Structure 1
């Protein structure tokens, strides 16, 4: 198996874990969302710290949290991912898994818009069209349901901002996520002590085991994603990521049997169309960049 094939397999596996995670967190609906997030933070930190210790890279973590400019960005990233987790887990426990999947569908387009507004990245006309179609989908849901899809927008915005912050962090994913969990740890411990400790004695062994396994569940797909990103073209990674919200959508409609209104029937195809337009434009852009790079590396080919 080639490196590219291994990378694709890793990416698919990561997306399957992410996409089917609603089924996992559905087993914890009797635990309040913020308690789940708190335990997830603690166990994720333990797991990631163990990985770094085995790699002999704990010094890198210490250096990361000792640098004030990096620490500020890590803290912002921690707030974004903590909020994202809280909204996602709350939505699973309150019958809004469909909206959560919509948020992860919208996220790539939010990331594109953030890149344009904050980083000044140029957008192709087709990419602007994709953003406009996505906005139309959100407008359809807002008018049809009588309220904006705040869960979807919150998930897309927090994950988009999280990606933007991470883009400016010069450190690997395992180190940065461990640092984020380290920053969230005091809040998580206090929350568990005040809210979780009085009732945790009444939870079953299965509940405690599920909470503990949320650490590896968080870490494994991120490590797989990191492995894939180094071996697969960015456009391929982007396309494969749509497997995540597609599986979440399937869980919401087929397993949780959440209502799928006619307004959803209009909005979701619009989002899928926007993603198709965006993906096609990104593929064309990447091919053009590769051709330009090929010509610049072989000047003789341009003189015929």
Structure 2
């Protein structure tokens, strides 16, 4: 129904907008370091998911997943990959590399397509090959012209690309809440170890930087889960090709935050690299829209669920 699609579109836009402004939230958490931030994010998210799992019917689904070793291993691998993605994301924010991080999310759809070819033996259409070639060219321009290899951008793109690949292999066997709960559960020992390491070195900041800071840090679980829930609500109501196009709201917002608010450098060489990336995305999006119109109206490949 039109009203249902409007609700779905608003939910999806809300999710992408929240992901886009996440760098500002992490900046507000200073003097907390990136290792402590990610550790609290994992543990507080797990606490929130535990509440959701307690709702009627969900615990039974979780137990069914735990009886299948293949799914248990898959959720553990997904947890490791999203941990890498989160850690790079927060480190990039704390070290003044939000613009480079936005580049990673710009090229993530193209990385996902490349992984489909290399791992799943999928075939690329001609325009998709053009988009991949332009993305490679953009990376070379950024490396040669700017003098720095964009490892943070590629780390974000490939960690989330492989995460999406794992989620694709799991498919509908694992529901959203159970999957997020298990991913956080497997990461909990690592999060506890990180907190212990931080406590023994620089010292924990939770509760030591004032009540306002403590309240912000305590929101890490909600900040992580809220856009995921909005995205899940939107994905059920709108065509996936719409989600595929709308996802560029996130890196665009991050780019604007890096340039306008955080005043990160944007020399001509970097603008040139981004311009080639945007050209690649225009080609990629045109191909995706054209391909979706050849199929059923509401069936088109879309991006995996984000978990920044």
The alpha carbon displacement at 1:157 in A equals 0.3
Partner in structure 2 of residue 199 of structure 1: 204
Query: Contact between 2:35 and 2:198, CA under 8 Å: does it hold in 1?
Result: no
Given that 2:146 and 2:270 are in contact with CA atoms closer than 8 Å, whether structure 1 keeps it comes out as no
Match of 2:174 among 148, 171, 174: 171
Change (3 A) 1:30 1:144: same
Structure 1 alignment gaps of length 5 or more = 294-304
Q: Is contact 1:49–1:58 with CA below 8 Å preserved after alignment?
A: no
Instruction: Kindly state the Cα deviation for residue 55 of structure 1 after the two structures are TM-superposed.
Output: 4.3
**TM-fit CA distance, 1:12:** 0.3
How many angstroms apart in 2 are the aligned matches of 1:180 and 1:164?
A: 15
In structure 1, the residue matched to 2:251 is: 245
Q: CA deviation at 1:205?
A: 1.9
- Given the alignment, which residue of 270, 275, 296 partners 1:269? 275
Q: Distance in 1 between matches of 2:60 and 2:16?
A: 31
TM-score computed with the length of structure 2 as normaliser: 0.91
Structure 2 match to 1:224? 230
Q: How does 1:61-210 map to 2 (within 5 A)?
A: 61-169=62-170, 170-196=173-199, 198-200=203-205, 202-210=208-216
Contact 2:36 2:204 in 1 (8 A): no
1:235 aligns with 2:241: yes
Q: Could you list the structure 1 runs, at least 4 aligned residues long, displaced by more than 4 angstroms after superposition.
A: none
| TM-fit CA distance, 1:63 | 3.0
Distance 1:221 1:211 in 2: 17
Task: Please provide the CA RMSD for this pair.
Answer: 1.5
Query: Going by fraction, where is helix more abundant, 1 or 2?
Result: 1
1:36-90 CA deviation, whole Å, 9 max, x = no partner?
Answer: 0000000111111212213441232233234211111111111110010000101
**Number of equivalences:** 292
Residues 45, 224 of structure 2: 8 Å contact kept? yes
- Corresponding position of 1:278: 284
CA distance in 1 between counterparts of 2:124 and 2:77 reads 26
Q: In 2, are the aligned partners of 1:80 and 1:159 still within 8 Å (CA)? A: yes
In the superposition, the TM-score normalised over structure 1's length comes to 0.92
Structure 2: how far apart are the matches of 1:41 and 1:20? 19
